[in-house]
Structure 1
Amino acid sequence: MDVLRARDARRGRLRARSPALRRLLPVAVLAVVCGLLPGCSGDAAPGAAGRSTTARAAVPLQPGDLQGAYQKVVRNVLPSVVQIQAGDHLGSGVVYDDRGHVVTNAHVVGNEQKFRVTIANSEVELGATLVSSYPQQDLAVVKLDRVPDGLRAARFGDSGKVEVGQIVLAMGSPLGLSSSVTEGIVSATGRTVSEGNDDGGTGATIANMVQTSAAINPGNSGGALVGLDGLVIGIPTLAAVEPDLGGEAAPGIGFAIPSSTVTNIADQIVKNGRVTDSGRAALGITGRTVVGGDFQPDGVAVVEVKDGGAADQAGIRSGDVITRLGDTDITTLTSLSEALAVEQPGDRTTVAYRRNGNSKTVAVTLGEL
């Protein structure tokens, strides 16, 4: 599996393990998928209140149909894409239901509680209030203080059925240019990306991200990645930056949080006001990266063990240095987060660690973040 490491945010750059992608820039991008809004094609299944989802796969189009398909998706989906002003920063969001909930990135809302939201094709600013932010998955939900007439909720597709080569549209407010649309394809699926926690980043490690060639620029974060069926398949969040080009964005390499993750987190926030079931595996430790005699990262030192957590039950103690999880070598705290991101709570795996110079391996049943 390819694993990329990124530093989040509106201004931050992301570093990638791949030589070609040494840094990544989290930015808001909107994806448009046919069937996303009322009036789009596709059978919708009931979702959260006022919102609908679908599991129907995208339908291939003939070349002569492409322009009309693009225009139809834009007409249907763009009204569900908004611009969010959080303090002195701009980002994007997607209308989640007809009650005025809007889903976006946690790094877009930052530490703010109040926001100004502008709907597509309108210059009227609406007030909004934070419902909850979940930095661990870089997602947040805000709610409009007043629901305007005709507000359209987007429809979300099944990101598990997204295929490489599928045409997608990205909608958002790059560089403050609201209601902007770009196009590309799904370049890859199943990417695991880690944001940094500087420059406003959340430090999140996110699994199963959708890689796309659709242009993603600062201000696109929190928008929608949409297929030609009008269904949102992801929330664009990160874009690659090539340092050899003077920090310029690397064309055609961006990442979106999959819609399955978005709806899971947003549904919980809308219903409960917070995330109650992360679905994320955890060891139940606080750790820090340690370096070896060559001054290179050499493992994760356990600083604290949560009582009753996975590590505690496996006999791991404070002072141990974790060097491997399952088949993955662990050299840094980020690499441990990336390894855990692709696991599930309750999974059985092994942890290798050093204690007083001796190497040990134990079986572990993973807990929940």
Structure 2
Amino acid sequence: MKLLFASLILYLFCVDGFAQSKSDKKTAQQPVSGGYTITGTLKNAANRKIILTENSFYKSRQQSDTTTANAKGQFSFKGKLDEATFFSLSVAGKTSPQYFFLENSPITITGNADSLWAVNISGSKEENIRQKIQQMMMDTAIGNRYKRAELKYTNARAVNDVNAMKAAIKDREQAVAQELVRVKNIISTYSSSAVGVNVLSVLMSLGDLAGADSLLTIMESKEIGKTAQAKYFRQQIDVMSRLNIGKVAPEFAQTDTLGQVIKLSSFKGKYVLVDFWASWCGPCREENPNLVATYQAFKDKNFTIFSVSLDNNRQNWLNAIRKDNLTWSHVSDLKGWKNEVAQQYGINSVPANLLVDPTGKIVARNLRGEDLNKKIKELIQ
């Protein structure tokens, strides 16, 4: 799930016209009318390079700006943004950058370069909102309930206790329902902010497309609805709506591990699980043993898996396929998050999947483990 402030799964993109480059020293020192000014002082940053990097998942390029702190650890940046945007601040030679929302206003950053996660950031209304929402999201009660349900399910599955598995699934669904209520309340409260728009990604990842659509419609009646981020989510919702259950899965073709082009339509006549994953995705790799078991159970019953990787390193991709014993068809254009099929299908988190019937229609989305097996049995028998 792509939570910019919660899990820090970041998609690195940029805003046009962001800041001046390091090489344009004279321009960088001039005030920027209507823009932002960052003034910082960090202990243990003396004479070190300071890097400011945009982390906007909804844009196609990323830019960064650098400067060097003086002997007192002081530094500054100036620039102008099209809209409030998520950034990271890092210090060369130090770990764990600080992430924050930057907007066109005077920003002050103070703290210690050895603990950037704890620096104080003032002057950004959007960052203040982000911090408030972060505190709300750190309420672990719902998350712990979900983890307990997952553990309960895993233990029940190990001993094939069907009733216990059903109870665990119900607990898990109730935890997700609680989270949906919490996320909707957060978005409604901050529906005029860039951070509020950002939280739509959480709602979409939890599967409430209708809820995200409704809340975005409200935002579109406000100024925030004209931003690139809001327009990105509108595009994503429209794409995902075309992929609802009952719709025909769009045709696609990509290159497999042997350099051959494989089309989705080549599997017509079978139930196909279109699986989106990546070698670097921990939850994907954890789910792979379940997929292997599902494939072995149903591969001779008119079922197969067609995996699309969001890798950008061919060898890592091949090694993961081999190590996890994934013996079905695999394709990738090795463009990472820019994978053309992933963009076509509105994939904004992995693992993700769609179950397609023999006629090419989508019959289920994002089923895993026993839920997937149950659905396949229901369809095949």
More strand by share: 1
TM-score, with structure 1 as normaliser: 0.25
TM-score, with structure 2 as normaliser: 0.25
Please identify the structure whose Cα radius of gyration is greater.
Answer: 2
Q: Which has the higher contact order (CA 8 A, sep 6+)?
A: 1
